[in-house]
Each structure stands twice: as structure tokens, then as C-alpha cells.
Amino acid sequence: MDPVSLGGGRPGGSPRPSAARVVSLVPSLTEAVAETLPGALVGVTDWCSRPADLAVTRIGGTKNPALDRILALAPDLVVANEEENRAPDLDALRTAGVPVLVTEVRTVPQAFTELERVLTACGARSRPRWLDEAEATWAALPEPAVRTTAVVPIWRRPWMVLGRDTFAGDVLTRLGVDHRYAGHPERYPRVPVEELRAAAPDLVVLPDEPYRFTAEDGPEAFPGLRCALVSGRHLTWYGPSLARAPRVLAGALRAARR
């Protein structure tokens, strides 16, 4: 799959007309498009929870979208992500004649670049203020005075953690948190919980998505270790939430260290 293709085109090629009807297969992109271009979205996934009052057609999950429902909406553009969405689904949409823009986001700076690309393709005539403010917030972050080691589970049954080359891992690194499996060959390795405990990190960071870790579901697996329950939206979404993410996440991390 070409992670930067737009209906088969390449960056630097002839620009396509601005999109008027957009289907989003990514919750964070849904929030970004809705915030910037009210009315542009005609279809989103069942997992697209922001904005809460978004009243458009639901087209199924990120991994199992209803392609017939998408095609019935006659979108000018479908926005997707190389990690969240399946290549066969995106290829089927292209085959049916639907332009597809696929993002690849592995770092915070890359998120800003990709968001601008998506919003321009969806019809934005200028860069939205929220995107400028979010980028300025991250650029102004001071160098962390103290660094913390962590393991970052994202799933259980089986246990899976952040590995190499992930957006969430880069977010944490910029906040002074070095996760133990950043050098793992896999991006989301399965690691037995016994091994996670034996790694003896300073913190176990437990987001509430994609697996919904809570005070009652997660910390009990790591007796004797400090656990930070954090907002999965602020850790893993790239969109308007980026502006508040450093403050929200830093607060949760500080609370767990006390």
C-alpha cells in the first residue's frame, strides 16, 4: 500500500480539486475535519466519538468498514491511515473510483504535516488556528529535567505494548518518558505480563484506548509498580487534542510518580 497516495497520485503531482463530501475512517481525522470544515463529513466510523454531536452516516469499524455504505455516499474523498485501516479495503475503494488519501503518522512533527495535507485535500483554504496552536505548544516544550522509564501496554489478553516507531511512543519521549520496548523489532509486540513486570520500569502507562484500562482493570497486574492511567485520546490521536495533550498527559504522569 502506498501510504501517501491520493487516488493513485503522488505528492508533488497535479493537485486534485478540493473535496466537498468526505468519509473518514480514522477517529482523530474525523475530529480534525469536523473542527475545520463543518459539513464536509458525510460518513465516519462507529469509533469516531468526536465531536460528540456529529450526525452523519456511520459506516462500520476502522478494520471492517461497510464498503457498500461508503460507495452509496458518493464521497469525493476517503481519508484513512496506514496503521488503522486495512489495505484491501482501501484498494477496493480505489478500484471503485473513489479517491483515497492515506496518512502515515509515526512522530509528532509528522502529525502536523499530515494534518495539513488532509485538511487541504478536504477543502481547507488556510491552515486552521487550532493546528498552529497545537504545533506551537509542542515546539515550546522544555527539555525534560528528569527522564522516566516505562512500559506501555495497549492491550491485554494477550498483553501488547508500544514497540518501535509509534506516534504514541514519540509523544511520551517528548514528555520525558522512555518506553522499554522502543527498540523492539515489532511496533506492537506481544509480551507476557511476567516479562513486563520483570522489566522493572519506573512507570506502567495505561491508556484508556485502544484497550480501556481503568483503575480496576490493569494496575492489579503490576503489583509494586507505579501505574499512570492516561487519556488514550491525548496519547494516540493526532488532531485538535494535540494542543492539550502535553498538559493532560504530563499531569497524569506526575500524579502517578507521587
What are the structural domains of the chain? 22-137 (3.40.50.1980), 148-257 (3.40.50.1980)
Residue 188 confidence (pLDDT): 97
pTM value is 0.90
H helices present in 37-128, as ranges: 67-72, 87-95, 108-121
Classify residue 12 by its DSSP letter. Answer: T
Q: What residue type is 118 in one-letter code?
A: V
Q: pLDDT tens string for the chain (258 positions)?
A: 333 333 333 233 333 445 789 999 999 999 999 999 999 999 999 999 999 999 999 999 999 999 999 999 999 999 999 999 999 999 999 999 999 999 999 999 999 999 999 999 999 999 999 999 999 999 999 999 889 999 999 999 999 999 999 999 999 999 999 999 999 999 999 999 999 999 999 999 999 999 999 999 999 999 999 999 999 999 999 999 999 999 999 999 999 987
The DSSP H or E segment spanning 80 is strand 77-81
Residues 124 and 114: beta-carbon distance below 8 Å: no
How is residue 224 written as a grid cell?
509494586
Q: Would you give the distance in Å from CA 252 to the centre of its chain? A: 19
Rounded-to-integer distance, Cα 234 and Cα 217, Å: 20
